[in-house]
Structure 1
C-alpha cells in the first residue's frame, strides 16, 4: 500500500506478527487435530510453527485461511468467525486476560477502548497495523459498531470476538449483522469500513431466574422496612422526650443513606462557573497540548511543544503544516478525527533533519468554541528514543505517566528481546534436532549396511558382541568373468558404473530373499543365508538369490563389447564362526572351512553357471530345484569332490525370483503353490550344449579335472507337498 505526500513516497507493508498465525495453528490443532494442521501447512507451503515477535506477510496468513477452507470444506466467513472466538480465548491464555477485563464495565465501553489497547500493544509490536473500532448508540438499546481496516474481507472475525467477549465478560448474548460495507479513501489509501448492528439476545432461562431473584429481593426489602418501622415506633413510644433529637438523627441518617446510594448511574458532576486556571499555568502544566479550530488553525499550544516546533507560535500556523496523523489512519480533517474521538491519536512532526517528535494523546471536541483540544505527551518507548528525540525526563510534566512508562518499558523491552532470542534459539534447536535425527537415520542406515541390525544395536548400546557358532548355513561367492581383461580395455569410470549397476541389482535381491550381504571385494560378491539369524530355508534362499543374480547380470552391459556380462557363482553349505572384527571400521565376518569351500566352488565354476557342493545339493534336492550333476572334479586343497550345477527352480517363476510378483504371495512360508512349466525358472537352452555327455568345457585355469557330468536322479524332481523341505519354497 502506498501513499504520496509532499513528493515523497511512503510504503506501508501489510504484515502480521506470528501471534496471529500461531492462533490459527492452535485453532486447527485443537478443533481438527494435529494431522489436519500437518496437511494444511504442507499444502500452504509454510513452516510448522511461528515466532511471536516475527513479522509475516499477510499473503501467508491469507494462504493459510484459503487452504484451510478448501481442506476442511468450510466457508470463509464461518472459519473466520470461528477464528475470532478462538482468538479471544488464545489472548486470554497468552496472559492478556486481566488486561482485557479492565477495558470497560460494559460491552460498549469495552469496544470503545480497543483502540487504546492496540495503542498500548504497539509499544511492543512496533509494526502492528491493527483495525480500529467506533461505537454509536442505536434505537432499542442496540449499538452500531464501525470497523475500519486496511485488510479486506477479514471483518467476519469481528462477530466471533464480540460475541465471545459479551458471553464471557458480561454474561449476555449478542448478535452482529452487517448493515453496510464500503471502502473509504483515507490518507494511506483505501480503508474498508463495515458497520455492524449489535443486538442483545435475551436469554429466557437466565431472564426468568433474574426476575425471580428480583422478586425475592423486593419481598426481603419490604420485610426489612416493616421491621424498621416497628422498631422506630417502639423507640418513639419509649422516649417521647427526645423526639426532636431523634428527628434530627433520622434526617442525618437519611441524608447519609442517600449519599451512600449514589452510584454511577445517578452521579451528576458539579462544574465551576468559570475556569479557575490561568492560561500560563495551563500551558506549563500540559506542556505538549494543542488547541486548533475547524480549519486546523492553532489557537493555543503548550510551552515545550512550542520550543520543539517554533512554527506553532505563528498567528496563522496550521497544525497540518507541522504534523501528520500516524494513527488512526484518517485524513487530517475535523470530521475524520471526530469519527475516532474515542481513539488515541499519534501525530508525527515534519522536520528536514532528525530528531522528529511523535505525540500520543486524546482528542477532545469543544463544541461551544468550535475547537479541538489535543491533550498529549511525547510517544516514547525507551530511554534511547528519549535521547533520539532530544528530550529529557525533565521535559515531561510531573503528573505525566510517560515518565514512568519510559523507565518501565525499558526493562520490558530488554525482557522481550531476551524472550525473542530464546524463541529464535528454540526454533533453531528444533531445526537442528530434525537435521540431527535425519543424520542419525543416515548413520544407522550406514551402520546397518555394514553390520547386521541386532549386532549394530548391541554395539550402539556399548555392549560387546561375542562370536557365535552356526551349525549350518549356506555361503555364496560370485565374480565377473574376464574382469581383468575388461578393466584393461576401458576407463576406470566405466568399471565403476558397471559394478555399481550390478551391485545395486544384487543388493535389492538380498532384501527380496532376506539374506545377509557379507562384503564385496572388487568384482567378488559374498552373501550368506542362515547367518546372523538362523533359518531352515537358508539354502533355498541363497539358491533363489543365485538364480536372480544370473538373471540380473543379463541386464548389465559389458563396457567393452556392449554384450551382457557373465558371472560365475559358487555355493556351499556347512558350519561357520561369525563375529565382529575391528574397532575403527568394524565388520561382521565369517570364518571356517565352509567359507573356503564356497570360494572354491565359485573359482571352479564355469561362466554363467551356478556351482553347488554336495552339501548344498542335499539341502535342495527335494525342494523342486532343477539341478545337474557335474561329476567328480579336482578342487584345490580339497581333492576330488562331486559337484552340481543349479539350472533353475520349477516351483518359482522368474518374476518371483526377482521379487516382482504381487505382494499377497510369499516366497518363503506356508501355502506352497505349484506353477505351470511356463512360469517356472527352467534351465536355459544353452546349458545342455555347454555340458555334453562327454564332459563340460570349463575354464582350464580353474579346473584341474572335470568329470563327465550327467543329470542326477533327482534332477528336476518335485517332491510331494507334504514333505518337510518342499514346503519351504513357495511362490512369490
Structure 2
C-alpha cells in the first residue's frame, strides 16, 4: 500500500532532505507521492530501498533497520499509537498479537499481504521470534520495528540476531522463515532509579511496622496457604520479607487471595444448546475427522451434518499458510486461523457464490485428544453478507462480528471518502506544480523581453520611469550580403540560419553579462552598462563582440555553404532608456549614441569589429589589441577617427566563448 512508500519518503525527506528524495525517486523511476489506500507493486519499494543504499552509501541491512525504527514512529503518528499500545502487557504478548492486528487491519486494507509472526519463550528469559513472509530480503526491518516498540512501550532494550534462515517448502505461502534470537535487558532512567531506590527504602521502613502488626502465627498460616497453592515456586530462595511482600498488601496487613478457577463436576449445558449458542464452532480429532459442528456452520456447509467427514475435504487454511495437519495447527495454535470453504464441495446451486471464510482460535483439548475451533464468519461489509446469502440473524447475538460488519461498513465508506479527498489533493498538488512551472516559463519569457526590475514593476502595475545613463557601450551587428542571401533562398532557410546565429549570440550575452536590446531582421543590438550601470561595460561588450565573430563561423550561408560573415560596430556614450508601448512593451534606448553605434556597424568591414574613438579610449588600457583605421566619412556625422578591435590579450578563445 501507499502507506509504506509514503513512510519511506517521509524518512528520506526528514533525515536527508528533499533534494536526496528527489534524486532517489528519479533514479528509481517512481512518482513523487503515493496515495495511502492505493495498492502499489512491491518492485517500487524494492527499487527505492536499492537506490537508497547506493545514494547514501550504506548496506541494505542498515537501511531496512532504520526504516523499521522509523516505520514504528510513523504508525504512531498516523493514529495507530493507542492500538499498538494495547496489544500486550509485555513484549512477548505484543509480538504474539501482531498477527491479530494484521487480521483486523486486513478488513480495511483488503489487499494487504502482511508477514506472520510466532514467538517462543526460552528458559533463560530470551525468546525465539519466527518471521514468515512472501517478500524475501526484508527481514532486517523486523529488528528495527520490534526494537523501537520494546524501548517505547516496555522500556527495555533488546538485541536481535538471526539464528536460522530457511525456506518452508511445505507451507502454502510465506515460505521465507527467519528465526531471531531476542534477548532483552531492562533500561532505567535516572528518575526511575531514584524512584526504585526510594521505594526500596519505603519497603524497609514498612517492614518494621508490619512486623508489629502481624504475629508469627498469621505469617505461618499465610506462608502455608501460598505454598499449598504453588505460587511460591521459584528457583531463587526468597528472603523472609520478600515472602511477606508476596502475601500482604503493604500497610494494611490484609492477605492477598490468589485466583483459582472453579469448575463444575459436570457440564451444565446440553448438546443442542451448545451447538445453537456457539453456531460457528467445530471439534475435530488428530485425523481431522469432524466430531461436532455448530448449527450455522452446518447450514453453510451441509456436508458437516455427516459426522466423521474429514475437515480438510471441505476447508482450506488461508492463514497461517501452513499444511492442513494437526501438527501444523498445534505449532501455530496461538495464531488466528482463517478457513475457507472449498467450492467443489458446495451444492451445485451455490458454486457461483463467493466462498465463505471463517476466522477464530484453536483450543487443544488434551483429555479428548481433539481440537476445538471457535470461529466467526470473516465478513467485511453487508454486501459480502448478502453475496453469501446470509443474514445478521445467522450470527449469534453475543458475537461481536455483527457489530464489526456494521462498523466496518461505515469505516470503508469513510476510507473511500478519505481516498477521494487524497486523490483530489494530489490532483491539486500536481496542478499547482504545473501552474508554478508555467509561471516560471512566463516570467522567463518576460525577463527575456524586459530587464527583470522593469518587468517586476510592470507586473505590480507601477509606471516605469525613463532613466538616463551617463556612459554605456552599444553594439550593432548585421550579416554581410543578407539581402542577396534572402533573394536566393527559401524563407524557411533564412529563418533557420538566423535562429542558429541568434542562439549562439544569446548564449554569449549570458556569458558576458550584457543586455540584448532587440533584433530586427539580421541586425542584433546589445548594450553594456544598461539597465544596471557597471564600470566594465566596454570590456564586456568588446569580449562579446569577439565571441560573435568566432560564433558566426559556425553558421552556414545557405547559398554558398560557407560560414556567414558579420559586421560589428561599437560606440560608447550616454543614453536615455525606458519602456515604450502598452500592448507589446519594449525596453528601448534613445540618444545620439545609438545612431553612432549603428553607423560604426554600417561603415564596418566584414568579420571585423569597428570601434569609435570613445569606445577605443575605454578599452585603451584594458589588455585589448586594437589597430587604427584612420579617418573615415560617416553618414550624417562627417569625418570620424575609428579603430578595429583585434583580440583580448589575456583571454583564451574558450574563455571568450564560455567553454569549460
Tell me, in whole angstroms, the C-alpha distance in 1 between the residues paired with 2:575 and 2:259.
103
Cα distance in 2, alignment partners of residues 210 and 648 from structure 1: 90
Contact 1:611 1:643 in 2 (8 A): no
Structure 2 match to 1:279: 271
Q: Say if 1:449 and 1:260 are closer, same or farther in 2 by CA, change over 3 A.
A: farther
Name the SS for the 2:209 alignment partner: helix
What is the TM-score normalised by the length of structure 2? 0.84
Out of 85, 90, 110, the position equivalent to 2:94 is 110
* Contact 1:144/1:198, CA 8 A, preserved across alignment: yes
Instruction: Give the distance between the partners of 2:374 and 2:143, measured in 1 at CA.
Output: 33
Please name the residue that 1:405 is paired with: 404
The Cα of 1:53 is off from its aligned counterpart by 2.1
The structural deviation recorded for 1:379 is: 1.2
What CA distance in whole angstroms lies between the structure 1 residues aligned with 2:183 and 2:116?
Answer: 20
Q: 1:161 to 1:503 in 2, by over 3 A?
A: closer
Q: Is the 8 A contact 1:626 1:646 kept in 2?
A: yes
Deviation, 1:208, is 10
Larger radius of gyration: 1
- Return closer, same or farther for 1:403/1:202 CA change in 2, 3 Å cut-off: closer
Contact 2:316 2:340 in 1 (8 A): yes
3-state SS of 1:185 partner: coil
Residue equivalent to 1:667: none
Of 304, 309, 322, the residue aligned with 1:317 is 309
Residue of structure 2 equivalent to 1:261: 256
Does residue 120 (structure 1) correspond to residue 120 (structure 2)? The answer is: no
Partner of 1:708: none
Alpha-carbon separation, structure 1, partners of 2:125 and 2:86: 23
Q: Which residue of 2 aligns with 1:525?
A: 524
Q: Tell me the equivalent position of 2:203.
A: 217
For 1:291, the equivalent position in structure 2 comes to: 283
Q: Deviations over 1:650-702 (max 9, x none)?
A: 6454627724488xxxxxxxxxxxxxxxxxxxxxxxxxxxxxxxxxxxxxxxx
Question: 1:31 deviation in Å?
Answer: 4.9
Question: What is the match of residue 631 of structure 2?
Answer: 631
Equivalent pairs counted in the alignment come to: 618
Question: Over the residues paired in the alignment, what is the CA RMSD in angstroms?
Answer: 3.2
How far did residue 270 of structure 1 move?
1.0
- Relative to structure 1, is the Cα distance of residues 258 and 395 closer, same or farther in structure 2, using a 3 angstrom cutoff? farther
Q: Distance in 1 between matches of 2:215 and 2:395?
A: 59
8 Å CA contact retained: 2:288, 2:312: yes
Secondary structure of the 1:56 match is: coil
Residue 387 to residue 565, structure 1, CA distance change in 2 (3 Å): same
Structure 2 distance, partners of 1:552, 1:567, is 10
Q: Which residue of 2 aligns with 1:722?
A: none
Query: Is the 1:612–1:643 Cα contact (8 Å) retained in structure 2?
Result: no
Preserved CA contact (<8 Å) 1:134 1:339? no
Q: Which stretch shows the higher mean deviation, 300-309 or 445-454? A: 300-309
Q: Do structure 1's residue 642 and structure 2's residue 646 form an aligned pair?
A: no
CA contact (8 A) 2:336 2:360 kept: yes
Question: Which of 66, 77, 80 pairs up with 1:93?
Answer: 77
Give, in angstroms, the shift of residue 368 of structure 1: 2.2
Q: Does the 8 Å CA contact 1:290/1:300 hold for their aligned counterparts? A: yes
Which residue does the alignment assign to 1:513? 512
Q: Which residue is equivalent to 1:690?
A: none
Q: Is 2:561 the partner of 1:562? A: yes
CA deviations 1:461-511 (Å, max 9, x no partner) are: 332212223333333222112112112222333222221221122222222
Give the Cα–Cα distance (whole angstroms) in 2 for the partners of residues 33 and 621 of structure 1: 52
Secondary structure of the equivalent of 1:520? strand
CA contact (8 A) 2:529 2:537 kept: yes
Aligned to 1:588: 587
Q: Which residue of 2 aligns with 1:379?
A: 378
Query: Which consecutive residues of structure 1, in runs of 5 or more, have no partner in the other structure?
Result: 1-16, 233-252, 663-732
User: Match for residue 347 of structure 1?
Assistant: 339
> What corresponds to 2:48 in structure 1?
64
Does residue 226 (structure 1) correspond to residue 221 (structure 2)? The answer is no
Task: Determine the C-alpha separation between the residues in 1 that align with 2:659 and 2:273.
Answer: 98
The worse-fitting range, judged by mean Cα deviation, of 214-223 and 354-363 is 214-223
Deviations 1:187-216 (A, max 9, x none): 534612233333343669989985874464
How far the C-alpha of 1:20 sits from its partner, in A, is: 2.7
1:555, 1:564 within 8 Å by CA — same for their partners in 2? yes
- SS of the residue corresponding to residue 631 of structure 2 reads strand
- 1:337 matches 2:329: yes
Q: Does 2:423 correspond to 1:439?
A: no
Deviation per CA, 1:444-465: give whole Å up to 9, x if none.
Answer: 2211111112111222233221
- In the alignment, the residues of structure 2 paired with residue 661 and residue 479 of structure 1 have an alpha-carbon distance, to the nearest angstrom, of 24
How big is the shift at 1:283? 1.9
Unaligned runs of 5+ in 2: 219-247, 344-350
User: Is structure 2 residue 318 aligned with structure 1 residue 326?
Assistant: yes
Cα deviation, residue 330, structure 1? 1.4
* Partner secondary structure for residue 459 of structure 1: helix
Distance in 2 (CA, whole Å) between partners of 1:178 and 1:558 is 74
How far is 1:520 from its partner? 0.9
Determine if the alignment matches structure 1 residue 182 to structure 2 residue 180. Answer: no
Task: Please name the residue that 2:177 is paired with.
Answer: 193
Q: Distance in 2 between matches of 1:657 and 1:112?
A: 71
Structure 2 distance, partners of 1:32, 1:616, is 53
Distance in 2, matches of 1:273 and 1:534, equals 107
Matched, 1:161 2:153: no
Cα separation, partners in 2 of 1:617 and 1:152, compared to 1, 3 Å: closer
Verify the 8 A CA contact 1:609 1:645 in the aligned structure 2.
no
Q: 1:399 Cα shift? A: 0.9
Is the partner of 1:140 in helix, strand or coil?
Answer: coil
Q: Counterpart of 1:704?
A: none
